[in-house]
Chains A and B, each alone.
Chain A
Amino acid sequence: MRPGVAEPGAATVAAPGRTAAPTTTTVEVTRPGTPGGPVRVTSADGLLAVRTVSRGPDRAEVALVATGAVLLGGDHVVVRVRVGAGCALRITDVGGTVAYDADGVPSRWDVEIELDDDARLEWYGMPFVVCDGADVARSTTARLGPRAGLVLRETVVLGRHGERGGRVVVRSAVSDDTGPLLVEDVDVCGAAPVPGVLGGHRVLDTLSVLDGTDERAGSDRSWSSGALAGALPAGATTMHLECGGTVTRWLGDAAHLSPIERRLGAGPPFLEER
């Protein structure tokens, strides 16, 4: 039995009997079966369940809902997202995720994203809190087809209030048909802060805006580097990647203080400005 969400106060939480076998949640959006109808949303639930919020002729919105206490020691959450050609998907998390104290037992959280030609995905994640005693490997792997667009917000918080936080490796690997766009591992441990990595900060807030190279259009990458640049929040560092796209980042002490949070709360979602 998994402990309920309502008892996060337990000092150490493990998933009894759970092996390293991944529990996979999938969501796939494809073109409508009938002209003028809504896009098709196909999903399968794992430790996270998919709830369809809305569907339109070329887009859908889904929410991801935890089906129990997530994330426990030994858990391996896999979320696989595919957006078919010309379709758009928005994912919202219904709540933040807490990686509970697992007494050092490792857990994994792997997101695999595949965007076909002209597909778009915006995913506004809620804070991912790494408690004392948690040891999490978190990865996001994305493959972007030509002209595909990805907006990803990822907020990692070391520790709940009063904690220093456990260990987490935040890995990102985004590529398109021409090669890697962004490859990054950020390895942090709340008990052993490293100046230059996070320093003494508890919050790593990241908004990535990336797009797949359109080889026919050559170097024209006006979407991520042009129109969106003005929409990025001040007060955070925006880095322009060599192959196009931006990573906007804020390090701080409380997620609600992040300028990225303010920006996302203030304006229309990015991809609709495309």
Chain B
Amino acid sequence: MTTPQRAPAAPAPATVAMLLADARLPGGGHAHSAGLEPALLGGLPAAQVPAWMVGRATTVSLVEAGTAVVAARLLGAPAGPPPGAVDAVVRAWSARTPSGALRDAARLLGRGYLRVARTLWPHHPAVAALSGAGGRGVRDAPPRAVVLGAVAAATGLPPADVVRLTVYDDAQTAASALLKLEPSDPLTAARWVLDACAAAEPHVDRVAACRTPEDVPASGAPQTEGWAEAHALENEKRLFRA
């Protein structure tokens, strides 16, 4: 044997990225619209959806992406996750997510992702470090970005791919919801997903380089936050959790 054997066989990081981005993975994402339903109910004209998707890809998605990158770095440390790492990342994320409605939505998604992570990578220290950390009171799950970071640490997903996966997943979630909320040609929505991802591309290296919780981008979107808060109080008109 001239090549060292990998035992047990591990999938390539790119395969893990495809799995995580695949809507057929039962992670709970189908109940979310990545902010689209709150935006439309809040008055966003349908014609502005592509510009809104670009806006997300360059603001709130980068907060999530940076959170995942830093979580992956801390939880994937060669000596094992340092004590308090998860709490420090969650604290940084929550300070950058002023809307309680958006924090709740991210934790609901985190719960679904956590089930995936615990089932598929149950013994990895990065996944184990999520237990009992990152929650506050009844909201006892870390946000999705932190769980994604743990999965990235467990599977060797490179930071730049963590950023792209986060941006893509957000845009594709919105595009998928759009087909239910404002039915149109699905390929038009696919075009908008690619446009949003392209708009984030100049930010990928910067976000992928985040090392500490302080490094996580804080690019806010006040109108999105206002829509999310109003939507959380809306009981009758909504199809999606957030």
Interface residues of A (CB under 8 A from B): 171, 173, 175, 179-187, 194-199, 201, 204, 237-243, 247, 249, 251
B51→A185 contact, CB < 8 A = no
A197→B95 contact, CB < 8 A = no
Does residue B122 face the partner (Cβ distance < 8 Å to A)? no
B219→A185 contact, CB < 8 A = yes
Contacts of A238 in B (CB 8 A): 229
A195→B44 contact, CB < 8 A = yes
CA distance A86 to B61 in the complex (A): 41
CA distance A251 to B217 in the complex (A): 23
Interface residues of B (CB under 8 A from A): 35, 39, 44, 48, 51-52, 54-56, 59-60, 88, 91-92, 94-100, 103, 136, 217-227, 229-230
A183→B51 contact, CB < 8 A = no
CA distance A87 to B60 in the complex (A): 38
B95→A181 contact, CB < 8 A = yes
Contacts of A195 in B (CB 8 A): 39, 44, 48, 51-52, 55, 223
A240→B100 contact, CB < 8 A = yes
B109 CB, nearest partner CB in chain A, Å: 16
CA distance A135 to B66 in the complex (A): 26
B84 CB, nearest partner CB in chain A, Å: 10
B136→A196 contact, CB < 8 A = no
B95→A180 contact, CB < 8 A = yes
21 interchain pairs (CB within 8 A)? A175-B95, A180-B91, A180-B95, A183-B95, A186-B221, A186-B222, A187-B59, A195-B52, A196-B227, A197-B221, A197-B223, A199-B223, A237-B229, A238-B229, A239-B99, A241-B94, A242-B100, A243-B91, A243-B95, A251-B222, A251-B226
User: Which A residue sits closest to B47, measured CB to CB?
Assistant: A195
B223→A198 contact, CB < 8 A = yes
Q: Take A240-B100, A242-B103 as given contacts and tell me if A198 and B95 are in contact as well, using a CB distance cutoff of 8 Å.
A: no
Report which of B39, B52, B96, B222 forms a contact with A204, defined as CB distance below 8 A.
B222
B94→A242 contact, CB < 8 A = yes
B57 CB, nearest partner CB in chain A, Å: 10
Contacts of A186 in B (CB 8 A): 219-222
A201→B223 contact, CB < 8 A = yes
CB-CB nearest 8 A-B residue pairs? A180-B95, A242-B94, A195-B52, A194-B55, A237-B226, A196-B224, A196-B55, A183-B218
A184→B92 contact, CB < 8 A = no
A183-B96, A243-B94, A251-B222 are known; give 8 further A-B pairs, CB within 8 A: A179-B95, A182-B98, A194-B54, A196-B44, A196-B52, A204-B222, A242-B95, A249-B222
Contacts of B226 in A (CB 8 A): 237, 249, 251
Contacts of B99 in A (CB 8 A): 239
CA distance A184 to B95 in the complex (A): 8
A197→B222 contact, CB < 8 A = yes
B92→A180 contact, CB < 8 A = yes
B146 CB, nearest partner CB in chain A, Å: 13
Contacts of A184 in B (CB 8 A): 96, 98, 218, 220
Report which of A180, A182, A185, A196 forms a contact with B39, defined as CB distance below 8 A.
A196
